Structures are given as structure tokens and as C-alpha cells.
Chains A and B, each alone.
Chain A
């Protein structure tokens, strides 16, 4: 990973050594995941924009998508503009595409190039600015909105600084952009603990959304949201769900945003494939939004509100525009739909909706009782140890007749019944914990 290279820079390690992220293993796994899903998408989508760092495939993709012929390069130059300018523009355009993929071959080397430049003594002034910027945060209490505008202002300032810096003399727009992405990732990784999910209000909303989604998951079906049968595709949906669930594997706003974009991209690819195979027009928002809402319910992405807020406040403003802004808005509206969901918005009778919610709540209570035990298990088990030892002979009433039991024995039987239930519950909790651990073990093996 590129950020590890920061540690190689010969600077006092206390402020230029990236804190080793605790979830680095998960991060690497997620990157591999993106790589895999990216290549999978590429095969099915005929031009996933995530995987098209160059313009040529873009033409091909457009040719396939829109049924238009690609024109040879060169025809695109605007006659009114000097040639050099046009070259810069097309580089910027190529960059715009390439920048959407952290793993694309085109964008990677530029991070290294940036770090190479930063390692030179001439970059010392930039380092000083970055350091004093990071230190300046320690003077104030965390405040997401204020911190957001501070970060945005700093990035804007640094854009000019980098553009005018001798190290970036004659650099293309793309190189400068990559330098800024590197910088943004660096400072946001440093400020992550301060800026992400720190508001307790948001944490409560996150939990409420997650709980609500947990209930909706159990009864909301595609038809409740106007998703026609012809658009159903469980395999693609699962891929979209997985993209969205990756959102907490990343710390940089850009990478969190990429998870959202990849999810939307999978849905769009699905709609594209359906329209091509059924010879229908590409569908618009009438079909996109319902699927995104359904995917969001299926995925139950962690800390949904906090993630959305974080991206809105801390993603570089100049990058949070047009298409990216549109798809982010779609996820925001999916969140809003879920928060406000009611009988009417799912075309149900009020009584039916309430019945569904109630039984979902019951089902959740039963299943939630167990996993929450993982930490409490040992003490709970100890408390009951004495009781279980007192039971004496293991199955005292197995051979007794019901009618022959006296009140004292009934009481004893009742106590035994309690113990059996307690043991059974503990046992199933333990089993559940074991199987979760095993899953984690398995997935870590898969990832490595």
C-alpha cells in the first residue's frame, strides 16, 4: 500500500509516520475484493467505468452502450484552443476516469511519484505546512462541520502551493491531482479518529437506522418497492450489497465514496445488461432508485449516516460534483426513505405493516439474545456453575410417573427445568460464538 511508503521518508517519525492502521489486514482484503469485483464487473459490463483508466476502452464502452461509433482520437480537439491546452484537458478527462479506481494501473504509480517527490529535501516546506495544519486541530474540540471546512480550505490552499512548487514544475493536471489525493488521504487518515463518527447523536441515529433495516430485511420484498420481476438478479444484487458493505474498510473519504460508486455501478451494469438482452431502453431513476434502496436494506451498511456525513464533509469539494454527487444523493435518499418508511411507502395496509414490524422485532429479539453474549458468557457461566453442581444425580425424574410426584418434587423438577433451559441457552450461545469465530477465520484465510 502506498501509505506505508510515508514511513520511509526521512523525517521525525512521530509526525510523518502513518499510524499503523489497526484494520490494515481488512483494508488489504477489501482492496483485493475491489480488484476481484472490478475484474468481474469488467467481464460482464463491457466497460465498467471503474476499470477503464484509459480513454480507448471508454470509447468502446460507449460504443456498446449508446450504439454510437467511436471516432478516431484527434477529432475531439477543439479548433479554437491551442493544442497544448487540449492535451491537458484530455489528460484531465482521462484522470477523471482513472481516479475513480484506487487499484487501476494508471493511478497507482502516480501516488509513488508523489511520494518520491515528497521525499526530496525540497518538499520540506510542504511538510511543515501539513504538520502545523494537523497540530492546529489539537487546539479545538472536534466539530464535524468546522473541521470539514478547515480541511477543505487547507486542500484548496495546498492545491495552489503544489501547483506553484518547484517539485511540480511542468507537472500535468493529473499529477497535481494525484498529489492532492495522496495528501487528502494522508491528512484524513491522521484525522480519522477525530472526524469520523464522533458525534454521539449520529451514533444513535446510526444504530436506529441499522436496527430498522434489520427489521425491514425480514419482510421487504422487491415488489414492495416497485422493482419489476424482469429486473431481479440475486447474483448482481449480492455483488452490489458486498460493495456497499465494504464502506468501513476504508478511512479516506474518497475510498468510502468509491464503495458507494461501485455499488451503484453494479446496479447500472445490471440494468444495462437487462436492457440489452431484452432489447429495451435503458431504464432511468424509476428503476435505479428502488433497486438501490433494496440493496441498502439487504446490505445494512455499517454507520450509514456517519459515513454519508463524513463523505459529504471531507471529500474534496471539487470532486464531489456531477455524477459522483448524483449517486451520493441517491444513497442519501435511500437512507431517508428507510428512516421514514411506513405502510404507505411500501404499499401495505397499516395493520399489515405493523404486524410485519412486530414479528420482525420478535424474531430479532430471539436471535439478538445470543450474539450479544459473547463477552458476557464467562461470568454468566460461572454464576450458574454452583447451581448446576447441586443438581446431583443427572436425570432424577426420568423413570418417575407424573401422578406419583409430590409438590416438593414438582418444585425440584421446575428448578431442573430452569437449569436445563439455562444450559441450553448458554450452549447455543457458545456454539454461535464458535461458528462466528470460525467464519472469521475462514474469511481471513480466503483473503490472504
Chain B
């Protein structure tokens, strides 16, 4: 895969993010759970971003998850709410594209990932955005993510172009590097901030 395996495992507490135990699945106005779906071409580093996010903040209480296709991570935000992200990865290969609706049904947020060195993956990302607009929930928070920002010398998708596309589709845009962890936490913090807060407990 496209990202390094020897990621330094930074422990809890960094970057203003704290990890909390959300052992029960009750949802109230302070602690809530959100299903987040990952879409994008295979090889753009979808799962690397999530692994980086989950590894970066070690949550000692989380249930053992051996696979990397489903991961969960809880974030504590400044307004003392906590968000438990349940991250659903999807297979990015063309032949599995028709199955994606099974995964994004009921998702509160979606991250559409492309590789800044691959224009095809950016085209594919636009396809997913259209799909989500057509079939996703109306309140879904969508983020457009240009990954592999560390490979800027091979860049072939300009950040301005992506930014404009994102704005036009009322998405939030960010470039990340799963390899160096650049902007990975920011991505999830930003999504958490934009999520509608549950009104009833």
C-alpha cells in the first residue's frame, strides 16, 4: 500500500485531543456516535489515513479491532462533547463500486479521498461526490481529502482546483499526508465540529 508501516506511534493526549472511554453505546447530547464512510479509488490511502488517526491517539479502552476496514475512535472536543467515530471503509476497486450504497446508507459523515498525484483518482472522487449527493442522506457531512500531500513534487491535482470543486459542492476540503500525519487529526476534528449535535438525550 501507499503508506509507510513504520509510523511512530504517538501516545494519548497530544494536540488538544483527549481520549475517553465510551464503553456504553448510549447516545446523549454530550456523547454521540457517528457512522463515517470512506470512499475513494483503491490505493489512494483511505485506510492509511484512518490508521494514522486511530494509532495517533491510543485509546486503551477501545475494544480490540483486528481489521483495518472497520475502526473506531473517540474524540473529545473543546465544548466537552465527545464523538465516537465508527469508520466504515469501502473497497475502492471499480468492480465493487455498485456495492457502496450498502455502506453509506445511514452514514452521518463521508470522507472522499483522492491522491494528489493521480488525476484519475480525483475524477473518481468527483464520481463519489455525485453519488453521495444523489443517494446519501441530506444531512451528511462530506469532506474532500487530497492525500499523499508529502509527494508534492509529483502533484498533478492543484489544491486550488480541488478547493473550488469542494466549495461548489459545499464540502470541506483538506490535504493530508497519512505518511507524515499532516492534517490527519485536523480532518477529523473539523468533521466533528460540523456534525449536527443531537438535540434529545
Interface positions of A (Cβ within 8 A of B) = 45, 47-49, 52, 58-59, 61-62, 65-71, 75-78, 86, 89-90, 92-93, 96-97, 173, 225-226, 264-265, 267-269, 271-272, 275, 279-286, 288-290, 318, 321-323, 326-327, 329-330, 332-333, 336-337, 340, 344-347
Contacts and interface: CB of A to CB of B under 8 A. Distances in A.
Interface of B: 1, 3-7, 9, 11-12, 20-21, 23-25, 33, 38, 42-43, 46-48, 50-51, 54-55, 58, 60-70, 72, 86, 88-93, 95-96, 98-99, 102-103
Contacts of B70: 322-323, 326-327
Contacts of A272: 66-67
B25 A289 contact: no
Q: Which 8 A-B pairs have the closest CB atoms?
A: A284-B47, A93-B23, A268-B67, A282-B68, A285-B89, A89-B23, A289-B91, A333-B99
Q: Chain B at the A interface: mostly helix, strand, loop or mixed? A: loop
A219 B62 CA distance: 42
A283 B68 contact: yes
A67 to B, nearest CB: 5
B63 A96 contact: yes
Contact of B23 (A92, A225, A286, A290): A92
A290 B96 CA distance: 9
Given A71-B60, A283-B1, 20 more contacts: A66-B54, A67-B7, A68-B58, A70-B60, A71-B12, A89-B23, A90-B21, A90-B23, A93-B21, A93-B24, A272-B66, A279-B6, A280-B5, A281-B4, A284-B50, A286-B46, A288-B68, A322-B70, A330-B69, A336-B98
A86 B22 CA distance: 10
Contacts of A77: 21
Given A281-B3, A283-B1, A284-B47, A226 B95 contact: yes
Contacts of A265: 66
A333 B65 CA distance: 21
Contact of A76 (B7, B61, B88): B61
Given A69-B11, A70-B60, A285 B69 contact: yes
Contacts of B6: 279
A71 to B, nearest CB: 5
B38 to A, nearest CB: 8
Nearest to A342: B95
Contacts of B42: 226, 286
A345 B96 CA distance: 8
Contacts of B46: 284-286
A281 B93 contact: no
A268 B70 CA distance: 10
Contact of A275 (B5, B24, B65): B5
Given A67-B9, A275-B5, A92 B69 contact: no
A90 B61 contact: yes
Q: For chain A, what secondary structure do more than half of its interface residues adopt (helix, strand, loop), or is it mixed? A: helix
Contacts of A59: 60
Given A65-B64, A281-B5, A285-B90, A323 B102 contact: no
B47 A286 contact: yes
Contacts of B64: 47, 49, 52, 58, 61-62, 65, 97
A226 B70 CA distance: 20
A158 B20 CA distance: 31
A326 B99 contact: no
Contact of B63 (A58, A264, A286, A332): A58
A315 B158 CA distance: 48
B65 A281 contact: no
B181 to A, nearest CB: 13
Contacts of A69: 11, 58
Given A281-B1, A333-B103, A323 B50 contact: no
Contact of A288 (B54, B63, B69): B69
A249 to B, nearest CB: 24
Given A92-B24, A268-B66, A323 B60 contact: no
A265 B69 CA distance: 12
B61 A337 contact: no
A80 B103 CA distance: 35
A328 B68 CA distance: 16
Contacts of B1: 280-281, 283
Nearest to B60: A71
Given A93-B21, A271-B68, A281 B63 contact: no
A93 B47 contact: no
A329 B86 CA distance: 14
Contacts of B5: 275, 279-281
B115 to A, nearest CB: 13
B120 to A, nearest CB: 16
A275 B54 CA distance: 17
B60 A285 contact: no
- Scoring A280, A281, A288 by chain B CB atoms within 10 A of each residue's CB, the highest score goes to A281
A130 to B, nearest CB: 26
B50 A286 contact: no
